[in-house]
Amino acid sequence: MSKPVVLVVMDGVGWTDKDNGNAVLHAYKPQIDELMTKWPHTTIKASGTAVGLPSDKDMGNSEVGHNALGCGQIYSQGAKLVNESIESGKIYSSDAWKGAADYVKAHDGKLHFIGLLSDGNVHSNISHLIAMIKEAKKEGIHEVRVHALLDGRDVPETSALKYVDQLEEVFKELNDDTFHGCIASGGGRMVITMDRYEADWSMVEKGWHIHVMGDGRQFASAKEAIETYRGEGGYTDQYLPGFVIAKDGKPVGTIDDGDSVILFNFRGDRAVEISKAFDYMNKGFDKFPMPKKPQVYYAGMLQYDGDLKLPDHFLVEPPHIEHTMSEFLVKKGVYSYACSETQKFGHVTYFWNGNRSEKFDDKLETWEEVPSDVIPFDLKPWMKAEEVTDKMIAAIESGKYQFLRCNYPNGDMVGHTGNYEATLIGVEAVDLSLRRIMDACKKADYTLIVVADHGNSDEMYDKGTNPDGTPKPKTSHSLARVPFAIYNGPEGTEIKDGDFGLANVAATVVQLLGFEKPEQWLESIIK
Ligand SMILES: O=C(O)[C@H](O)COP(=O)(O)O
Ligand SMILES: [Mn+2]
Ligand SMILES: [Mn+2]
């Protein structure tokens, strides 16, 4: 009988000697150091084409990382699929594009785009937005409104004006007697609209008021809003309060009956809640009161949830991820367990299972969520590591599961705040938790795999310095490789020669569990 396997994802903990504010390198982390010296270990690829992104310049992210970990294959991901669909023009012959355009034309309405305004390529890409705006004009749509969520999390932390200027230029070029486009509202992505995993529905409620009702602080332009808020509160982009663009006291682009709305984000986790608000508004939606429910045609860039079929209308076919590890293990009758705190709960369940929100088998699969705090995580960099560890150890000690997985968000969520000192503590909290997991695995004689989904905390400084000479914080992920180590594996466990990536982990897990991998998967990392 093979030993059960525990897999820990240290979210956002990249592995590199480069020291650009490397909070992994400088953290006190005796456990990770032990794993990466005394046990079978290597580093693996977690970015670019190794995880299905358009190019090797694309940093990894949780969606593509957990998809690859959970399915053992490399699928072309949203960023790439949307590029291809726009290049070929296929997107404009989709039912959803035609539906949205026809609805606006039939009602003399406005076409709205909501989404993350940047070229971060994690949730969205501004180039997709611009292409669609140009096509809308070509197709005879007269009124376009953009509801711009400001990024500063997948791109430099105060870069919003660059993207706002780029978009305003496009409108300047396009606007004439037949066409009028402008920014109608917006706000920081960590304040309005882009909540995930139901951590804080009030963010989506705020977004509803700002985008749909035009109910918020008014400014003459997005630029004025950004500059005013920065001056008043020193806000960085991701935390900028909501704003409404108005003329003579009247919002320029509320969402009304007869309008169409396209959410131009391709990634699902932070697109699900706002999509539910639109798709379910007349179907018992009860997450927040809706003083206004406009009759609109709503479409997502992709379908974000394959089980819920959400949203109903979408422009580009999402990757249809088949042959996942969870499905494979269920067919083998293996009991499995998954745990994280809210912020990453969907990563080890929904992303892990190929963007499906439901289990393959209720009896064999157990999922446990530890509620996350709703605070900026640099204020509490240990987050819920202790609670996640408690649950993992209880699950190991129960003896019920042959495969157990968890995600510690600290390296990533604290890394995204740009706070180097806090991120050191975040990594150290993960390391402390690992000691307890390692001891539990030793005691129960389970194999432990420790890996990460992409870098972040390993590069906390951006290019350049602040006016006071301190390093500029970097809030986004990095291109670093990630650590991979096997603790307490079977006698003779040895890493193969070769250059591996996240998609090689699934085969490694099932090999350790004593199964042969399905033919679709990439090879195992061990001999
Ligand atoms: O959504 C986020 O917080 C960031 O854009 C990406 O972080 P993640 O890929 O680690 O979730
Ligand atoms: Mn991640
Ligand atoms: Mn992240």
CA-to-CA distance for 132 and 129, rounded, in angstroms? 5
- By C-alpha distance, which of 26, 7, 57 is closest to 450? 7
Residue with tokens 């602040």: 466
249 vs 253: CA distance, rounded Å? 12
| Shortest-distance atom of ligand 1 to CA 62 | 9
Residue found under tokens 């390993």: 458
φ, ψ at 455 (rounded to 5°)? -85, 160
Alpha carbons 383 and 372: distance in angstroms, whole number:
7
- Does residue 284 come out as left (phi exceeding 0), alpha (psi in the -120 to 50 range) or beta? left
Atom of ligand 1 nearest to the CA of 120: 5
pLDDT grade, residue 349 (50/70/90)? very high
* Ligand 1, atom 6: closest residue by C-alpha: 61
- Per-residue confidence at 227, pLDDT binned at 50, 70, 90? very high
How far is the C-alpha of 270 from the C-alpha of 268, rounded, in Å? 6
Mean pLDDT of 408-415: 98
481 labelled binding-site residue: no
Closest of 3, 4, 7, 18 to residue 480, by C-alpha: 18
Mean pLDDT value across residues 178-189: 99
Distance of CA 227 to the CA centre of its chain: 27
Phi, psi of 260 (to 5 degrees): -115, 150
How far apart are alpha carbons 327 and 160 in whole angstroms?
Answer: 41
Domains annotated on the chain, with CATH: 5-76+320-513 (3.40.720.10), 79-300 (3.40.1450.10)
Rounded to whole angstroms, how far apart are CA atoms 428 and 395? 23
Q: Give the nearest ligand 1 atom to 151 CA.
A: 5
Using the atom order of ligand 1, give the atom closest to the CA of residue 270: 1
Amino acid occupying residue 5: V
Q: Which residue has the tokens 């699902």?
A: 268
Mean pLDDT over 502-524 rounds to 98
Pocket-forming residues, ligand 1, beta carbon under 6 Å: 11-12, 61-63, 122-123, 153-154, 270, 412, 416
Question: Can you give the pLDDT at residue 436?
Answer: 98
Report the length, in residues, of the chain.
Answer: 527
**Is the pLDDT score of 322 beyond 90?**
yes
pLDDT for position 181: 99
The catalytic site residues sit at 62
Residue 17 pLDDT greater than 90, yes or no: yes
Task: Assess contact for 77 and 319: CB atoms under 8 A.
Answer: yes
Which residue, among 110, 96, 101, 140, has the nearest Cα to 256 in the 3D structure?
110
Average pLDDT over residues 25-42: 98
* Probe residue for ligand 1, chosen from 153, 304, 342 as the CB with the greatest number of ligand atoms within 8 Å: 153
Q: Whose CA is nearest to atom 11 of ligand 1?
A: 62
Q: What is the pLDDT of residue 246?
A: 99
Question: Listing from the earlier edge strand, what are the strands of the sheet with 336-341?
Answer: 41-44, 482-487, 447-451, 5-10, 403-408, 336-341, 365-370
497 Cβ neighbours under 8 A, 6+ residues apart? none
Q: Which residue's alpha carbon is at the smallest distance from atom 8 of ligand 1?
A: 62
The answer to whether the beta carbons of residues 456 and 412 sit under 8 Å apart is yes
What's the gap in Å between 62 CA and the centre of ligand 1?
6
> Distance, CA 424 to ligand 1 centroid (Å)?
19
Q: Which of 338, 110, 70, 101 is nearest to 211 (CA)?
A: 110
Indicate whether 224 pLDDT > 90: yes
Please check if 267 is assigned to a binding site. yes
Instruction: Measure 120 CA to ligand 3 centroid, in angstroms.
Output: 12
Output the pTM of the full model. 0.98
What is the pLDDT confidence band of residue 124, given thresholds at 50, 70 and 90?
A: very high
Give pLDDT, residue 518: 98
The alpha carbon torsion through 29, 59, 115, 357 (nearest 10 deg) reads: -70
**356 assigned binding-site residue:** no
With bands split at pLDDT 50, 70 and 90, how would you rate the model's confidence at 12? very high
What would the pLDDT profile of 421-441 be if each residue is shown by its tens digit?
999 999 999 999 999 999 999
Distance 505 CA to ligand 2 centre (A): 16
Q: Which ligand 1 atom sits closest to the C-alpha of 416?
A: 3
Nearest CA among 330, 325, 354, 344 for reference residue 509: 325
What SS3 state is found at 503? helix
Radius of gyration of the chain (CA): 23
Q: What is the distance between the alpha carbons of residues 490 and 222, in angstroms, rounded to a whole number?
A: 59
pLDDT for residue 1: 79
**Distance from the alpha carbon of residue 449 to the mean position of ligand 2, in angstroms:** 17
Q: Whose CA is nearest to atom 10 of ligand 1?
A: 62
Q: How far is the CA of 91 from the centre of ligand 2 (A)?
A: 29
Is residue 145 annotated as involved in ligand binding? Answer: no
Substitution site in 53, 61, 124 for ligand 1 pocket (most atoms within 8 Å of beta carbon): 61
Nearest-10 crossing angle of helices 420-444, 30-38: 60
234 backbone dihedrals φ, ψ, rounded to 5°: 65, 25
**Please, are residues 131 and 315 in contact by the beta-carbon 8 Å criterion?**
no
62 labeled binding residue: yes
Is 477 annotated among the ligand-binding residues? Answer: yes
